[in-house]
Every structure is written in C-alpha cells, then in structure tokens.
Amino acid sequence: MSHRQVLQVFEQYQRARTQFVQAVAELAARPHNIETLQNAGVMSLLRPLLLDVVPTIQQTAALALGRLANYNDALAEAVVKGNILPHLVCSLSEQNRFYKKAAAFVLRAVGKHSPQLAQAIVQCGALEMLVICLEDFDPGVKEAASWALGYIARHNSELSQAVVDAGTVPLLVLCIQEPEIALKRIAASTLSDISKHSPELAQTVVDAGAIAHLAQMILNPDAKLKRQVLSALSQIAKHSVDLAELVVEAEIFPVVLTCLKDSDEYVKKNGATLIREIAKHTPELSQLIVNAGGVAAVIDCIGSCRGTVRLPGIMMLGYVAAHSENLSMAVIVSKGIPPLCACLVEECEDHIKAAAVWALGQIGRHTPEHARAVAVANVLPTLLAMYMDTHSSDDLQMKTKRALKNILQKCTYLPALEPLLHDAPPNIMKHIVGQFSKVLPHDSKARRLFVTTGGLKKVQEIKAEPGSLLQEYINTINNCYPEEIVRYYTPGYSELLLERVENYHPVM
C-alpha cells in the first residue's frame, strides 16, 4: 500500500466525520428531527467529536449539541448526564473564537432550562471559562459568553452570586461600553438578570459603575438596547430607596420620559416600569417625578396603548397617589382618572383591571375631595358590578371591595352614591348608607333630593340586623325626616292605608 493510499484512508475518515457533524447540526436545527436524532444515540456520537483534532469538527459538534440542548430540558439533561460539559470546557482557553462561541452557546442552551441544569454548569467549572471568553478580543465571543452568564444568573440569587463571584461584573460593564450594539444589548440584559434578585447583587453592579453607562444609553436609537438598559435600571432601582436615588442621580429625568412615547411597546413598558420602581419608594421620589412631568407622561402612555404595556404605568399612578393627599391631587389634576376608568372597560385581563381598581382606590382614599373626583367619573357602579360579577377573579374582587370601601368612606358626593343603593350587597351597603347618615343631618337640600329620587324609600326596604352598624345608620337617616314621611315610604304602608280606606265608614 503506497504512502498516498494510507493517507487517503485518514482523509476519508476525516471527510466522513465532517459530513456527519454538519448533517447532524443541520438536522438539529429543525424541531421535527430532534426525537429521531435522540433515539439514534446522537449524544454519545457527538461527545468524542468535541475533542477531535480538526477544529471545524469540534465547532460543528458543539453547535449540534447546543441546538439539541436548546430544544428541551430532557436533551439538556442528557448533555449533563453524558458528561459532555467537562469535555466542552476543558480546553476552551486554547481554542479559536468559533469554538468558544459554539461552546458558550451549548452552556446557554443547557443553563436556560432550570436552576439544577445551570448549577451543573457552575459545578463543572464553566464560569471561569466564560470569564476568559468575556476577556476575548472578539465581540462575538464576548456576546456568547455574556448571554450564557445571563441565562445562569436569571434563575436565582445563589446562581447569580456565583456569576458575580467569578468576577464577571466589571467585565460586563466594559462590554456595555463596546461599540457593537449586539454586545451592549446582551451585557445590559445580563446585568439586569444579576441585579434582580437582591439589593446586595444590585449593589455589586452599581459599585462596578454600571449606572452611569446605562443611563447614557437611554436615548440610543436601537429599541432592543433601550429595552435592556431600562430593564437593568429598573432591577437596580426596585430594591431600596438608596439604589433608586442613585439611579435618579444619574440624571435619567426627564430623558426617560421620551421612552414612554417610543414606537416599541417594550421600550414603553420598561420605561414605565423604571418610573414605577422609583416612585414606589418615597413621597420625595414621587414628587421629583411629578415635577419632571412624569405623571402626565405616564397618563398619556396609558391612554395610547393596550394590554400589559399599560400595567406598570397604572401601578405607578397608584404608588404616587398612595403617598400623600398632594401627590394624589397631582394625579387627579393631570387627568389621571379617565384613563384608569377606561382600563376597566377596555381590558379583558383581570390582573390589569385589578391594578386599575387598586390605583383608583389609592387616589380616592384621602379626603372627600379626592373621593368626589373618582365618584364624578361614574366609576363606582362599574366597581360594584365587577365586585358582584361571579366571573371576576378572587384578586379582582378583593381589590374592588377594598377600593370601594376606601372611596365610599370618604365620599360625600351623594348623587354618585345613590345609584349604588339599589344593587349593593350588605357588606358594601353599610359604607354607602353610612355616608348618607353623615351628610343628610347637615344638608336640607340633600334631604329633599334624597326623598324625591327614591333614596329614602330604598333605605326603608333594607333589611338590617337589629343593633347592627347598618341599622344605626338607617336610624340616623330616618331621624332626619318627620315620622309620617318615614312611615309613608316604609314597605307595606300603602296596603295599610288602603285597608284603612276599606274599613272606613263615612259619617252620613
């Protein structure tokens, strides 16, 4: 056998390996092939190819494994149980950029499914390798590593802490300063995933100087980058007053308000979320947002969109209004009530309605003036109908009951209360009747109107437990009128009069 023929055998073997991994990688890209590949034992065949002498075979084998692991958690688990991860990371630092990208893709595909699988990645020493990738010159390698780290960190605080302890945060902050938009996006997303779990983790991100760089990118024209930047700032600001103040000190107002007018729905949503996470902490931070025009901007945003995009804005108005009478009045003056009322009618999802109900309750609970502003919007009958609707979720019913109680206990605007007398259940009725018992003794015009609109008649029809609070309220109302008027409107009195007519013998 000649020298050439001997080499030919090796070339054929190499060609066959190359064709095999390329075919498997292509097949793995289509979901309907996955089960067949798995049943054919593809995992055990790909594993030795990760250590192949030919770099392109190594890379393609890693790519195929990543696609398989990405498909579902069972295949990702097969990668872990097949002892493939140590093979993948053992020589990563000496490998070329293509292999590093493919290996990071496998780690991301495995780690995304569950905390247990992400933990397996940490235990095989992959974090150190990913840190090496973050220090690589190639932006694509940095991006792939950043992505894998984000998928590990997002699961829980322990995994996030492991990612931080590996020394990733300063490198991620350097990544957001790189010129490549794709790298900026993923690095900002990973910082968001690290920050979300606890104040301590968020503080680590802050200490690495992330806030200033993130804040500078709020006006970047790339919508996907803006989404991640706003998300990261929200995850930092949500934990404490100190962290929220640090975000505000980066001069995000009034710049961030432009995001509420963005054409991208997620930019709007994340912008409103950031404002909400700051507003919820203290009256001072809420006042700062009001002064910057934030309340008016959020109200416009709620009016211009639908669905879950509205949710953070709705909650932000509730948080602002909850802090104080003045802040609640700022929401009212900025015409915040009509869009909240519109949400009750326009939205199908109960959790969005529940947020709007809660916000209205926070606005109306301070003084009679605040309650009147809510009541005049004719929202009380809607709230009552939602509370009594058997299809409403438990959370919606509970929030509606609480909001009604908060508003009714302050409301002295009787025309808005009167329609409720005809439909309200006893636990709501006592608050309505209670308000009438407070106002009627001091307002003769209201007493007259209460008779002519049928309110007094309705009160006489209410069956209250003797000695109950409701009965006390009814007695207070009845004491505002002459006895014969009360008797006239008492149920059965007309029959009694007719009976007297029948039994009456005229004097001839």
What would the pLDDT profile of 427-439 be if each residue is shown by its tens digit?
A: 888 888 888 888 8
| Residue of 418, 390, 387, 423 lying closest to 405 (CA atoms) | 387
Peptide bond into 48 cis (omega under 30): no
- The rounded distance, in Å, linking the Cα atoms of 288 and 216 is 20
- The rounded distance, in Å, linking the Cα atoms of 232 and 397 is 34
pLDDT at 469: 84
pLDDT at 497: 62
Chain position carrying tokens 């594993």 = 47
Q: pLDDT, tens digit, for every residue of 272-295?
A: 999 999 999 999 999 999 999 999
CA 475, 477, 482, 483 torsion: positive or negative? negative
3-class secondary-structure state, position 389: coil
H helices of 137-222, in order, are: 139-153, 157-165, 169-175, 181-195, 199-207, 210-216
Mean pLDDT of 242-264: 92
Q: Where are the beta strands (DSSP E) in 51-99?
A: none
pLDDT at 82: 79
Q: What angle do CA 474, 475, 480 make, to 5 degrees?
A: 100
211: which 2 tokens? 């806030």
- Proportion of the chain in helix, strand, coil states, percent, rounded to 5: 80, 0, 20
Q: Is 209 in contact with 168 (CB distance < 8 Å)?
A: no
Of the pLDDT bands very low, low, confident and very high (cuts 50, 70, 90), residue 360 is very high
pLDDT, the chain, mean: 89
Lowest mean pLDDT across 27-31, 178-182, 274-278: 27-31
Q: Residue 180 above 90 pLDDT?
A: yes
Q: Is 352 in contact with 315 (CB distance < 8 Å)?
A: no
Burial of 83 (0-12, 13-18, 19+ CB in 10 A): exposed
Residue with more model confidence, 424 or 228:
228
Q: Residue 490 above 80 pLDDT?
A: no
Of the pLDDT bands very low, low, confident and very high (cuts 50, 70, 90), residue 206 is very high
pLDDT at 181: 95
pLDDT at 71: 85
- The rounded distance, in Å, linking the Cα atoms of 131 and 149 is 9
Percent of the chain with pLDDT strictly greater than 90: 48
Chain position carrying tokens 């990913």 = 130
Q: How many CA atoms lie within 13 A of 58 on its CB side?
A: 21
pLDDT at 501: 66
Angle between the 380-388 and 350-364 helix axes, to the nearest 10 degrees? 130
pLDDT at 283: 94
Residue with more model confidence, 28 or 499:
28
Which helix or strand (DSSP H or E) is residue 119 part of?
A: helix 115-123
| Residue of 291, 211, 202, 208 lying closest to 249 (CA atoms) | 211
Q: Residue 392 above 90 pLDDT?
A: no
- The rounded distance, in Å, linking the Cα atoms of 65 and 43 is 7
Q: How many CB atoms lie within 10 A of CB 400?
A: 27
Q: Is 121 in contact with 107 (CB distance < 8 Å)?
A: yes
Q: Residue 492 above 70 pLDDT?
A: no
